[in-house]
Chains A and B, each alone.
Chain A
């Protein structure tokens, strides 16, 4: 009898021991570490032959939500993070370091998460932490989080001060912009997610597309494009 207790205790002890996986989000522009408020030169997409295809671009802010982190084994979920909402802010290095804590013996070979916030959370009541509307990532005039926000200037933008603002969000049916991502994890000790914004600018015609401020087809397309940026190292 005593032994059985001891056995249970040991099982519990090992099962409840903690392991962790640091996930780092690493932002780049053309292979260089991304700096905000810095002018970059890049080759823009030509809309027609006569166009100059050199543009300069500056980013003022880049913020997005990663949510619903899961570890998988052979594609099957083995662990889910509770209250898994992380606001990544290019201005705040600490926000780019996520730490996943799970039971010690978890056996996994893959990582899954979403770019954006699920629709239930979007339409539910107010939440705190990274989801607190004071973070400025909530549309105020209608329901829903802004999943991905990129703001800055490009010489191609025919707008005041050459500004562009891409606020991507939307959660209902055809307007849903949340993107699910999954990766094989070669290194179970650390995951580095790399995004190169120069790839995002490919396919954006700043002359005609510089303000996306509400859900819709454009936001859906750009969200897919943003999700395609993620690489796992």
Chain B
């Protein structure tokens, strides 16, 4: 047997409507409702799996997803170079908008865009909670 994929088996990677509904509900009720401007669940290829945002959000989510996947990959590679499995906190602070990245599992990453209404400490707790829930949903799906 060759170690290579012979074909691209898409179904392995399709999430059901049920799971996506659940995930999007969680993103909305736990993050957007707490003042997060936009949250994306993406894979490391840069695909958007699920998203939640408030009505005013005008963010270019496709570019943000592509850049975040690449950036996260680059930071992970840097961690390996200095002998670390990963860096714990990935956070970029801006004047009015900030970004927070959190790894869900080997496939998924959460990006949160938030402003001054919510503190980083509270946000981290909420995201950790959401990550936990998504992990459980993801498991039951695959």
Do these two chains really belong together in a complex?
A: no
